[in-house]
Structure 1
């Protein structure tokens, strides 16, 4: 059922940093981490900083261009139903804390997930966070920090005093899908960071879902999640295969899932884009929902989504959710 999603390699990491001076972060900390990280990654990898990426002779071998600036052909963009810019092969999960001020001696933990070919560039990601902490700083006042540890998904520290030690644990999307099980059960989802999903997929329509209040929203969640999983797999999995595009539409949904509980709210937050030189409103849905019915066939996709996130702004850590364990109903 999900064969076209089975070839994506995924690696998750937990970073621990310690401020060396006062660090002040906003309510949504993913914006501060992601914004500063892009500049640090370019400083860590770019050999020709006075050139635009498109005109640079080194772009085909450049880690920054591959991760941040890679374009896809118009044919591929049309087939995948995306713009000319490929989605980034990584996401940053912000610290899940309500604290805003961190002092020397405190610790801050955040996550990094890499997809496909980006996993091979892990040293660049780590070095970029070192540069961010030592040179650029983070948050209001650009407080500096030092990188203390990097743990892989198995809980092993792979970073020791500036050196990588041992290979990282890598998970295959196929294994996640197969391990999920297909028993029908109440499907309880908790959205941990703002969820931003379009209600229409035509480019001229950009309205966002503002609440989850009816059965029909389940299809929107499915469609957004399947599209993200499919695009990432085709771009960063085993490559673009012509026959795979026949599977770009999600599996048939026949309305056999019902919404039984929704405790959600809209959370607004604002970030300033240095690139666009303007403030951006990036609010989204938070809270918990429960669906019931014949959910089993969709459980594997939602399990995979715990790694991928869902909706818009995933690079900032938006669309993070978890499946809350519930009693199985029918196998």
Structure 2
């Protein structure tokens, strides 16, 4: 599993770390996609070992007072893993909105022509294609273009570059992983475009989603 999750090159990893910056406490989600869901018991054990034995950060801070949940149900009790029934979820989108605010909660890194897209050049087509291609790769399918007309317009943008550095204890190196944060107002979305953006809330957008980057949130509004 270690090879599959960390060392397997040239492949889309079927998991994603999910958290927010500048919190005063540890609180994060960890998404497993497709066949990676079968590794859930091992993942839970690994997180328990990380928190209690190995520790977090440079100081290897160990934590004893914590809880682990699967789909909002506590799953580690009395040193035993107790999984809820039917813990695998399908993504369903019940409501469609034409007008949204798209929040970039974590730095967004999308490449075009071997360069990272700047705030002023980020467009709806780039966002949707990034999410759609990630979806295809997670499903084990080959690259293909988004099969619907991309309808919608970014009418306002309030984006800025957030510099961020990641420390790899395993490789004893640091990585610059900064990207775009802020929000955009998007109007006139078609059903298909809205659904892809909502999917991006779960699977992430752009590069290095496995490290927590590319976290977005969709807020609907009428107007």
Q: Please report the TM-score for the alignment, with normalisation by the length of structure 2.
A: 0.88
Task: Give distance in 1, aligned partners of 2:83 and 2:210.
Answer: 27
Contact 2:70 2:83 in 1 (8 A): no
Q: How many matched pairs? A: 222
Match of 2:44 in 1: 126
SS of alignment partner, residue 109 of structure 1: coil
Contact 1:89 1:115 in 2 (8 A): yes
Match of 2:131 in 1: 225
Task: Give distance in 1, aligned partners of 2:174 and 2:58.
Answer: 15
Contact 1:94 1:317 in 2 (8 A): yes
Match of 1:253 in 2: 149
SS of alignment partner, residue 250 of structure 1: coil
Contact 1:181 1:299 in 2 (8 A): no
Contact 1:181 1:296 in 2 (8 A): no
Contact 2:108 2:181 in 1 (8 A): yes
- Structure 2's unaligned 5+ residue stretches are none
CA deviation map 1:153-177 (0-9, x unaligned): 3x2212213212233532124xx2x
* Superposition map of 1:66-77 within 5 A: 66-70=4-8
Q: 1:113 and 1:294, CA in 2 relative to 1: closer, same or farther beyond 3 A? A: closer
Structure whose residues are more often helix by fraction: 1
**Among candidates 165, 181, 184, match of residue 270 of structure 1:** 165
Contact 2:155 2:187 in 1 (8 A): yes
SS of alignment partner, residue 66 of structure 2: strand
Please provide the CA RMSD for this pair.
Answer: 2.3
SS of alignment partner, residue 56 of structure 2: coil
**Among candidates 205, 208, 213, match of residue 116 of structure 2:** 208
Shift of 1:120: 1.2
Q: Which region of structure 1 is more displaced relative to structure 2, 119-128 or 271-280?
A: 271-280
2:83 equivalent to 1:170:
no
Match of 1:193 in 2: 106
Task: Give distance in 2, aligned partners of 1:133 and 1:98.
Answer: 17
Task: Give distance in 1, aligned partners of 2:13 and 2:65.
Answer: 23
Match of 1:152 in 2: 70
Task: Give distance in 1, aligned partners of 2:44 and 2:59.
Answer: 23
CA deviation map 1:214-233 (0-9, x unaligned): 6x611110111111011001
Match of 1:65 in 2: 3
Q: Please report the TM-score for the alignment, with normalisation by the length of structure 1.
A: 0.61
Larger Rg: 1
Contact 1:181 1:300 in 2 (8 A): no
Contact 1:91 1:315 in 2 (8 A): yes
Task: Give distance in 1, aligned partners of 2:63 and 2:20.
Answer: 15
CA deviation map 1:104-152 (0-9, x unaligned): xxx5221110111221111111111122122221113111113632222
Contact 1:69 1:85 in 2 (8 A): no
